[in-house]
Structures are given as structure tokens and as C-alpha cells.
Structure 1
Amino acid sequence: MAAGDIVLRLCNASFGAIEAVRRSLGRPGVETISTAELHAAMNSSQSPPVLVDVRSDAERAVSRIPGAITQQEFEATSDETLAGRRVVTYCTVGGRSYWYARRLAASGIDAANYRDSILGWCRAGLPLESPDGEATNAVHPYWRIFHVPDRYDVKT
């Protein structure tokens, strides 16, 4: 097993354990959304979720999941624009997005963490876009230890 896959498994196990403890203490949980669920929601005729990219400027400068906005853009958006829409956060492997989704959920926002994040999106062979909205195969995987399918151009 590759080092990146070990890190992904450790992250998933760690955040799962944190959630289990939080829920056992009666604290609000953070829901997760799978790649298939997010892809379906983004392409639904119903109001799509607000997809918030919490990665670093360097990562976002390479690409994003189509339709995503930055954390800064989200925080500057009026409540009326977001009314009734679920917020889904993502990063590279789901850690930074978990913490942000947890903060949003604690403040009463309907938020979920896309735990598979951009690596899961790429592993499903789904499209990316550049910051200016153009289709791209470039992706910043945070660390080179994370496997990205060959059809993507890794930029770090």
C-alpha cells in the first residue's frame, strides 16, 4: 500500500473516531457526503449545494471542482443567497474541510464534509476547472505522496 493511501486511511479513521466521540457526548455531528452523492447533487434539477473549497491559495490556483467557491467568497456571501442550500466543504483529503464543516454546523448552518475531497473527485475521473472556469486536468494534490489518476496533470 502506498504512503498516500495509508495517510488517507488514517485520516478517515481519525475523523470517524472524533465524530463518534462527539456524538456520544451529545454534540452536533458533521455529516459526510460521498463522491456519487455530491456529483448527483451538483447535477440535480433541485438547488445544488454551495460547494466551498477550503484549500490553500496555491492549491486553488491550479484547479477546483466545478462550481466551487472559496471559503472567503462563502463568508462574504449574504444569507439570502444561501437560504435553503446545504453547504458542502472540501479540501484535499477531507481534514481541513471537516474542521470547517464542523464550525459551520456548530453555528447552525446545514453543512456536510465531502471527505473524499478533490482526490476522491479525481479518482472518480470527474472534471476539474481552472480558477477562471476553463476545463483543466491539472490538480494540486497537496503532497506528491497522494495518488492521482494518470489522466490528471499533477502540479505542486
Structure 2
Amino acid sequence: MESLGDLIIRVCDRSFGAIEALRRVFGRSKVETISTLDLESAMKSEKSTPVLVDVRSDSELAVSRIPGAITQHEYEEGVEEFAGRRVVAYCTVGGRSYLFARKLVASGVNASNYRDSILGWCRVGLPLESPDGQPTNEVHPYWRIFHVPDEYDVKI
């Protein structure tokens, strides 16, 4: 049986997919998505590492992040520094990051949404880091209803 958290993620995925399809009907620029595997590979690339932007709340950011990520605030303060680089936004399940990526795409930035976001990252067992850059297994899943693998320590 599907958990409530998984149901919410599935509904969000379909809803944002429908919104994106409708936007395309009206000629709006497409917001690309990136998979966990492709993001992990891109983050290891020596040629064109994307700017990974964490758009979660301060309480979520205070627990952990995907290694190499910067906050939305850090991105917006240094936007000129990142000009010409692909931006990949993430949050918990891909909703807030979709809205941020959509805003960037509308302004001409090469941006994508990491729809699986931090929960997808954790579900395949990838590492996290604390705000000071140290390895951690702690994660803030936004709501307790979202499943996090047992090897991670949920902090809300």
C-alpha cells in the first residue's frame, strides 16, 4: 500500500507536469527536469558542474543539504558570478524548486528542476552534508509523512 507521503509526491509530480504541459500550450519556455543519476553525474563533472540551488526553508537548510549546493539567497546575491552556467534547483519533493526554476527560465537562465529533490537523493543512498560542509546523515523531510530511508536521521 502506498504511503500518504508517496501519494502526495505522486500527485505533485502529476500536477506540476500538467501545469508544465499547459504552459507549453501557451508558448512558455520549458522547464527541464534532471534525474538523480544525471545530477549526481553532473556534480562530478570537471567540465560543466551546474549551480545546485537549495530553495528549502531556513529550518530545512539548518539540518543538511546535497553536497555542493548553495542556498537560494546565496544564488540571488551572486547571480552575476553564475551567469552562463546551468542552474539546478531542488527542495524536498520538487514543488518549490519547480517554481524557482520556472522563474529563472522565464528570465532567460538555463535552469532545471531536480524533481526528485532531497528525498530522491536520500532514497538512493547518496551523501548529505551539514551547513558547515561536514558529512551527515541528518535530513529534514519537511513533513514526517515523507519516507526517508532508515540510514538517515530525520530532524524536524
TM-score above 0.5, yes or no: yes
1:29 corresponds to which letter in structure 2?
K
Are 1:53 and 2:54 an aligned pair? yes
Equivalence map 1:90-105=2 (5 Å): 90-105=90-105
Equivalence for 1:5 = 6
- Residue 88 of structure 1 pairs with residue 73 of structure 2: no
TM-score (norm 2): 0.98
- Report the secondary structure of 1:89's partner residue: strand
Task: Provide closer, same or farther for how the CA distance between residues 78 and 92 of structure 1 changes in structure 2, counting only shifts above 3 A.
Answer: closer
TM-score, normalized by length of structure 1? 0.98
Equivalent pairs counted in the alignment come to: 155
Runs of 4+ in 1 over 3 A off after TM superposition: none
Q: Which runs of 5+ in 2 are unaligned?
A: none
Between the aligned partners of 1:125 and 1:142, the Cα distance in structure 2 is 18
> SS at 1:112's partner residue?
strand
- What is aligned with 1:119? 119
For residue 141 of structure 1, what is the aligned residue in structure 2? 141
Aligned residue in 1 for 2:33 = 32
Q: 2-side partners of 1:14 and 1:78: how far apart?
A: 29
Q: Which runs of 5+ in 1 are unaligned?
A: none
Shift of 1:111: 0.4
1:93-125 C-alpha deviation (Å, 9 max, x unpaired): 000000000000000000000000000000010
CA, structure 1 residues 78+21, in 2 after alignment: closer, same or farther (shift >3 Å)? closer
Amino acid aligned to 1:39: E
Q: Aligned-pair distance for 1:78?
A: 4.3
In 1, distance between residues paired with 2:8 and 2:101? 21
**What is the identity, as a one-letter code, of the residue corresponding to 1:51?**
L
SS at match of 2:92: coil
Q: Could you say what secondary structure the match of 2:52 adopts?
A: strand
Q: Following the alignment from structure 1 to structure 2, what is the Cα–Cα distance between the partners of residues 136 and 33?
A: 24
Q: CA deviation at 1:38?
A: 0.3
Structure 1 position 55, deviation (Å)? 0.2
Say what the alpha-carbon RMSD is for the aligned residues.
0.7
